[in-house]
Amino acid sequence: MALRKIWLNLNGADRMMVCDPEKDTLADVLRRVGLTGVKLGCKTGQCGVCSVILEGEVVRSCIKKIKDVPDFSKIVTIEGIGTPTNLHPLQQAWITYGGVQCGFCSPGFIVSAKGLLDQNPNPTREEVRHWFTVHRNACRCTGWKPLVDAVMEAAKVMRGEATMEDITFKAPPDGRIYGTNVPRPAALAKVTGLCDYGDDIKLKMPPGTLHLAIVQPGLNHAVIKGIDCSEAEKMPGVVKVITSKDIKGTNRIMLPVAHPRSKADGFERPIIADTKVFRYGDVVAVVAAETEERARAAAKKVKLDLEELPAYMSYLDAVAPGATEIHEGIPNEYLRMPLFKGEDTRDVLAESDYVVEGSFYSTSQPHLIMEPDVTQAYIDEDGNVCIHNKTLALLFPLITLAPGLGLPDGKIRVIENPTGASFGSSISPASSALAAACTLALDGAPVTLTMSYAEHNAFSGKRAAHYSNARMGCDKNGKITGFEFDFAYDHGAYTEMAAILASKAIRFAGFSYNIPNVRALARVGFSNQTFGTAYRSYGNSQAYTMSEAIVDMLAEKAGIDPFEFRYINLARPGDTNINSYPFKEYPFTTLMDRLRPLYEEAKARAEAQSTPEKKRGVGLAFGGYNVTGGPADHAEVALELNEDGTITHYNTWEDQGQGGDVGTLVLTHESLRELNLDYRQIKLVQNDTAQCPQTGPAGANRSHYMAGNATINAAKKLLNAMRKDDGTYRTHAEMVAEGIPTKYLGVFDTTDITVDLDPNTGVGDPTPVYNYAVFLAEVEVEVATGKTKVVAMKMIYDIGAIGSIQAVEGQAYGALTHSIGFALSEKYIDNNKYSSLVRCGFLYADDIPDDIYLESVPSPRKTAPFGSVGCCEGFQSAGHVAVINAINNAAGVRIYDLPATPDKVKAAMEAKAQGKELKPEKYFLGSDLFEALDDIAENPVESTGPDMAL
């Protein structure tokens, strides 16, 4: 290896370093000298998290070869732009205007924005968006709008039109921060590049840490006949090649499918593939070596003897007659959940004035996060197998991995690293299992595993694809008479939380409407796609894909405007939901009343701006989501009074960027208002299972509600202990002197305020509160190409009171962006084509509208902490269907299979011009719907009791 000495001017100082001119990128060199504010995500020039300014130009340093960087080049990284004690206006604006969620993209964006403002101190919003598009600055969290806001506000300071104070948060005079824009506690480290994410922690692990590289088969379905590691083990620096044979336990991830109708128990997934490959991203071996480069080189030398099997690349293939079992002994369609409400819909629909039917499909949606999977594992000072990664469920490795790993004492500790988002995918304990298995196979040697973007994309789960057939009818006045649907989730290779998913379609299809008669079935099945996993609006986005489309179709058939049709059918007090229980609240018409003038304006705008070449249209959809994980949901937090009068809050409210830190802060401050604390007196200790009580997963909109109620409970206990007879409060010293504990556990549980779904009828009331949202999309369809552009999105929502404006609106902007992608471009198929952001259909700033309008219309919530229920899942529930409905409104064509890519829209328009409609045939989902429902009615099962229904 021929190395080169190089001098670079880094952030104003000349520095000498040694590099490999053939292999090193500029990013490699900068990170090696400690400038880890230069992040690495895609490493292929698609995400911009590695952006730096090189001789005045913004470049992506991951694709800039060091050999192309001349000596003494001037380079500015985030570390040279500002520091925690001397912030640049862009950094301050990022903090104040919601530019930081997970923050993984923040350094790259701020550097890029600095490059823009250096050239153009007074850009328009469009110029800012276009700059970010051209420079491939990608953010999956914020929906771009807050980033543009931040640039515009910072630019004012840089032009001398505003001061730093103007763009810095100030608490209101009464000190109350609940319901304000108080910044996230983690934001400062993120905007200065000092926050260490997994790959930064890797660089700072102690000597002796081994680097792991995975071996993935690149086949979707195969028998493993042999693995030859001999050549790999002879490669330089290799310590061991780990296979399933090195795992001392059962080698299974044991996340049960707790459902009496399930034919799968949830124990089918290996930690390292042993007998079969079930999907493209399975791991069949892991190389441990002294460096990552050596581990990767050796991984290429592992020889696999695989016998390829027929791969069922969709649920439809897997349940087609003659298909064989993917997991031996378990039918490919393994779970059915029925729903019966009112009369038999065959009779009802036969007598209805208008009936429509359709078959719908939505693709497997990739999460498209910026930070790929990174995991560390080691043995800690208490003998625990300690796992660090971006998990959003610290609990899951604790309860699912010990038997598989062969740890009879179950000594596992989990710590969440600062996380470059996940939107649900990191709920899976799979990468935890992998790293833990490796450290155990290496006699406790510390290990670190960084997956490439392509490896991560193949390894992680996705939003499950779905197929459905539906019929809906109404009377001549537009009142819905009956709804019938057969709905299948394509859950891919593994069962991960399948029972939870099955409940979603039969709870949320038709949610918000008064539907008297329903017959429905939700099915879940295997295929050889990657496994289905959590994703914001888990399971519901698919349900609304069907139900909010068929509602529009029925409105059209009945000749009623889709707004009015919805308004006629929205549930009013006294009406029941499809599970035959009253809704918890009836905010539906209130939200629509607020939307009505916006809808009328949008329709008028569409009409005025439509041309023969570019047709404009407006679409609506109603959505919402459950809050909490269902009947057995439970959360604990702890509050401690410190010697100096400050408070420490301990919890495992995992922060994926959504704001577990700021949520904890505002809830704690509000719960302890009578102490008159400055909010900066509250300290947070979070997301380490050895230090914090179990607050539960950051899913199902549950964290704010569950942790909030537990916080109120802990605060009451602490305040009662501190309160003296005269109404004043004991100090820490006084508490200690009197022998009064200074730390209190707060608990909240949903068991007594919910009713689990009956597995024989679907009747039940499983979650205590909900959130609601109605979406409006304005689109423009280019007739020549079929390309759809969303020009505006509006959302009126009810999540109760708002605890943190920044966190709530941040979720909303981000969720709407994901919904636009789901509607128009995002897709994942398990093969090497879908390995990157761009190939999966990621949309950059120019493709997302700047015109996004949000409005909160809160209604009271009885059991919610300070009236707030949490938000994020509902925000991504149905916006995509508003886009699909808007395409129909604009171009007169309905797209039944998502995403609505230009080719599909164009083909539909061409067919329409010939008087035809492109409509899928009715799907065969494993059996006839009513035969399946009759079978269930004749063979009732006992409920197994409440399960977590995330």
Q: Which is nearer to ligand FES, 47 or 627 (CB)?
A: 47
SS3 labels along 106-168: HHHHHHHHHHHHHHCCCCCHHHHHHHHHHCCCCCCCCCCHHHHHHHHHHHHHHCCCCCCHHHC
800 is a contact residue toward ligand FES (CB under 6 A): no
Nearer to ligand FES among residue 471 and residue 818 (C-beta): 818
Mark the segment that binds ligand FES (CB under 6 A) among 95-103, 463-471, 601-609, 690-698. 95-103
CA distance 639 to 896: 51
Helices (H) and strands (E) in the chain, counts: 27, 30
Among 8, 93, 102, 224, binds ligand FES (CB under 6 A): 102
139 binds ligand FES (CB under 6 A): yes
Residue 78 interacts with ligand FES (CB under 6 A): yes or no:
no
Q: Is residue 104 part of the contact set for ligand FES (CB under 6 A)? A: yes
| Stretch touching ligand FES by CB under 6 A, among 41-49, 77-85, 239-247, 747-755 | 41-49
Out of 28, 37, 48, 750, the residue judged to bind ligand FES by CB under 6 A: 48
Among 8, 26, 31, 43, binds ligand FES (CB under 6 A): 43
| Cβ-Cβ contacts under 8 Å for 873 (sequence gap 6 or more) | 536, 537, 538, 540, 625, 626, 700, 701, 771
Binding mask 355-394 for ligand FES (x = CB under 6 A): ---------------x------------------------
- Contact segment (CB under 6 A) with ligand FES among 96-104, 151-159, 462-470, 682-690 equals 96-104
Q: Candidates 40-48, 457-465, 559-567, 579-587: pick the segment binding ligand FES (CB under 6 A).
A: 40-48
Closest CA relative to residue 904, chosen from 884, 924, 886, 923: 884
For 656, other C-beta atoms within 10 Å of its C-beta total 27
In terms of Cα–Cα distance, which of 527, 512, 715 is closest to 620?
512
Rounded distance between C-alpha atoms, residue 478 and residue 553, angstroms:
12
User: Any idea what the Cα angle at residue 758 is, between residues 756 and 760, rounded to 5°?
Assistant: 165
CB of 49 vs ligand FES, minimal distance in Å: 5
Residue placing its CB nearer to ligand FES in the complex, 29 or 139: 139
Can you tell me which of 36, 92, 96, 101 binds ligand FES, judged by CB under 6 A?
Answer: 101
Backbone phi, psi, residue 24, to 5°: -70, 140
Which of the ranges 135-143, 435-443, 531-539, 839-847 carries the binding residues for ligand FES, by CB under 6 A?
A: 135-143
What is the amino acid identity at position 574? Answer: G
62 near ligand FES, judged by CB under 6 A: yes
What's the chain's length in residues? 950
**What's the token pair of residue 757?**
């779904």
- Amino acid sitting at position 198: G
Alpha helices in 469-539 (DSSP H): 498-508
Site for ligand FES contains 40 (CB under 6 A): yes
* Pairing of β 285-289 and β 73-76: unpaired
Q: Which among 228, 243, 241 is positioned nearest to 297, based on CA atoms?
A: 241
CB 634 within 8 A of CB 768: no
CA-nearest of 49, 167, 51, 34 to 103 is 49
Beta sheet of 354-362, edge-to-edge order: 333-341, 518-525, 480-490, 465-474, 354-362
Tokens 């198929």 locate to 829
Select the residue interacting with ligand FES from 37, 41, 372, 766 (CB under 6 A). 41
| Least distance to ligand FES, CB of residue 871, Å | 17
Angle at 150 between CA 146 and CA 151, to 5 degrees: 120
CA atoms within 13 A on the CB side of 315: 29
Q: Are the CB atoms for 861 and 627 separated by under 8 Å?
A: no
Alpha helices in 429-469 (DSSP H): 430-441, 453-459
Judge whether 873 counts as a catalytic residue: yes
Q: Which of residues 426-455 bind ligand FES (CB under 6 A)?
A: none
335 binds ligand FES (CB under 6 A): no
Binding residue (CB under 6 A) for ligand FES from 95, 110, 326, 421: 421
Which of 657, 663, 841, 870 contacts ligand FES by CB under 6 A?
Answer: 657
Closer residue to ligand FES in complex, CB, 31/880: 31
For 51, residues 6+ apart whose C-beta sits below 8 A from its C-beta are 58, 59, 60, 61, 107, 108, 109, 111, 112, 115, 135, 137
Q: Which residue number, 747 or 838, has a Cβ lying nearer to ligand FES?
A: 838
Q: How many CB atoms within 10 Å of residue 172? A: 10
Q: Indicate which single residue of 6, 8, 10, 50 sits in contact with ligand FES (rule: CB under 6 A).
A: 50
Selected range binding ligand FES among 137-145, 658-666, 682-690, 744-752, rule: CB under 6 A: 137-145
State the minimum distance, in angstroms, from the CB of residue 537 to ligand FES. 18
3-state secondary structure of 292: helix
CB of 661 to ligand FES, least distance (A): 14
CB of 47 to ligand FES, least distance (A): 3
Binding segment (CB under 6 A) for ligand FES, from list 133-141, 238-246, 726-734, 771-779: 133-141
Nearer to ligand FES, 43 or 462 (CB): 43
- Side-chain half-sphere exposure of 155, counting CA atoms within 13 A: 21
Binding piece for ligand FES, criterion CB under 6 A, among 98-106, 358-366, 478-486, 770-778 = 98-106
Q: Per CB under 6 A, does 45 bind ligand FES?
A: yes
Q: CB 226 → ligand FES: shortest distance, Å?
A: 36
* Alpha-carbon gap, residue 237 to 233, rounded angstroms: 9
Give the C-alpha separation, 472 to 483, whole Å: 4
Which residues, numbered 599-628, are part of the site for ligand FES (CB under 6 A)? none
d(CA 460, CA 438): 18
Among 60, 64, 390, 717, binds ligand FES (CB under 6 A): 60
47 interacts with ligand FES by CB under 6 A:
yes
Applying CB under 6 A, what is the total number of residues that bind ligand FES? 24
Candidate ranges 138-146, 222-230, 463-471, 666-674; the one touching ligand FES (CB under 6 A): 138-146
| Nearest residue to 236 via CA among 297, 284, 286 | 297
Query: 3-class SS at 650?
Result: strand
- Among the options 873, 917, 931, 938, which is catalytic? 873
142 touches ligand FES (CB under 6 A): yes
Residue 456 found at the interface with ligand FES (CB under 6 A): no
* Residue nearer to ligand FES on the CB measure, 26 or 684: 26
Binding of residue 840 to ligand FES (CB under 6 A): no
Backbone angles phi, psi at 180, to 5 degrees: -110, -175
Is residue 198 within the footprint of ligand FES (CB under 6 A)? no
The residue written with tokens 């399933």 in the block is 244
- 53 belongs to the binding site for ligand FES (CB under 6 A): no
Taking the complex as a whole, the smallest distance from the CB of residue 140 to ligand FES amounts, in Å, to: 5
Least distance CB 839 / ligand FES (angstroms): 14
**Residue (687 or 760) nearer to ligand FES, CB:** 687
Q: How far is the CB of 637 from ligand FES (least distance, A)?
A: 25
**By CB under 6 A, residue 195 contacts ligand FES:** no
- Residue 140 as a binder of ligand FES (CB under 6 A): the answer is yes
Asked if residues 925 and 523 have their Cβ atoms less than 8 Å apart, the reply is yes
CB of 819 to ligand FES, least distance (A): 17
Q: Does 511 bind ligand FES (CB under 6 A)?
A: no
**Catalytic positions, please?**
873
- The residue ranges that bind ligand FES (CB under 6 A) are 40-43, 45-50, 60, 62, 101-105, 139-142, 370, 421, 657
